[in-house]
Amino acid sequence: MCWRTHDFVRPNTYDAAVCLCEGAFALLAHDEDNVRVLRHIAASLKPGGPFLLTTLNGYRTIRRAGTDGENRLDPLTMIETWTPASQEINRKSPYMLPGRHYIVPELLKMHHEAGLTVEQVWGGTAGRWGKRPLDWDEIEVMLLSRKTS
């Protein structure tokens, strides 16, 4: 099934939006695709509507680069590729998955370009979420933003 990105815009329809999955946002490897997703989310929110996003923490990715043989990080693009373990058979899959990892200043800029104002940035790891400052080694970054009126 093929979808065009404009198919998912519902102008000024939703009170709030949530994207809570460490890899969902990072799986789009190109910055312009990620900004387009944010623009469509902003367009679909009612004025002032909140958006909560989690994505992989680029700082953690940088700190552990080269220490995990299964993952490869390109330092020029911040795109990490990894080979997922196959569920059906006990061997590695023949394909690589890309993921773009962002640091906070990049995320702030992208939200701004999309018409979202970031109000809070927190760190989080599964089972340890909370409203606390981002730590270098947190698995995820959580951003709370609002549609700019």
Residue 15 lies in a domain: yes
Residue 128 lies in a domain: yes
Instruction: Quote the number of domains for the chain.
Output: 1
Residue 26 lies in a domain: yes
pLDDT in tens, 82-101: 766 655 445 555 556 678 88
pTM for this structure? 0.82
Confidence of residue 1 (pLDDT cuts 50, 70, 90): very low
State the residue range of the domain holding 50.
5-58+102-147
Residue 116 lies in a domain: yes
Residue 27 lies in a domain: yes
Angstrom distance (rounded) from CA 13 to CA 11: 5
Q: Determine contact, residues 57/141, Cβ cutoff 8 Å.
A: yes
- Domain of 12: which CATH number? 3.40.50.150
Pairing relation of β-strands 50-56 and 116-124?
Answer: unpaired
Residue 110 lies in a domain: yes
Phi, psi of 39, rounded to the nearest 5 degrees? -60, -40
pLDDT in tens, 69-78: 667 788 888 8
CA dihedral 79→114→140→98, nearest 10 degrees, is -20
Residue 76 lies in a domain: no
User: What's the order of all strands across the beta sheet hosting 79-82?
Assistant: 71-74, 79-82, 97-100
